[in-house]
Amino acid sequence: MNMRKKAVVYRSRDEADWAKAQRLLAEAGIPHFPFAAEESPVAGCGIKTTPGRLFRRGAVPTAVYRIEVAEEDRARAEDILRDKVRPVGSYGFNL
């Protein structure tokens, strides 16, 4: 298995859904690489505030959870995740 070429099969802001996707891939025996990263705010003049935090009250999710698999396992992983976890497009991401 060539792990140099990886494909993103899951990306969201929902940590519980991310854990479910990891569990489904593990049960199917597909090696996967999950990670969470803080998204960078898009703002000018050196401001380090996410624009969504300026107008919302309460916690604003800023972590983006991803799962990558080997390119040759991509189709199988997408079939396993389809209709069981939130679709990537519902978060506005383009893969």
24 CB-side CA count, 13 A: 21
Query: Where residue 32 sits, what CATH number does that domain have?
Result: 3.30.70.790
Is residue 95 domain-resident?
Answer: no
Domain count, the chain: 1
Is residue 47 domain-resident?
Answer: yes
Three-state DSSP class for 87? coil
Is residue 1 domain-resident?
Answer: no
If you average pLDDT over every residue of the chain, what do you get?
78
Q: Is the pTM here over 0.85, yes or no?
A: no
Is residue 39 domain-resident?
Answer: yes
The domain in which residue 10 lies consists of 6-88
E-strand ranges in 1-95 read 6-12, 32-38, 63-70
Percentage of the chain lying above the pLDDT 70 cut: 62
pLDDT in tens, 17-58: 999 999 999 999 999 999 888 766 555 555 556 556 666 666
Is residue 93 domain-resident?
Answer: no
CA-based nearest residue to 91, from 72, 57, 66, 56:
66
Is residue 14 domain-resident?
Answer: yes
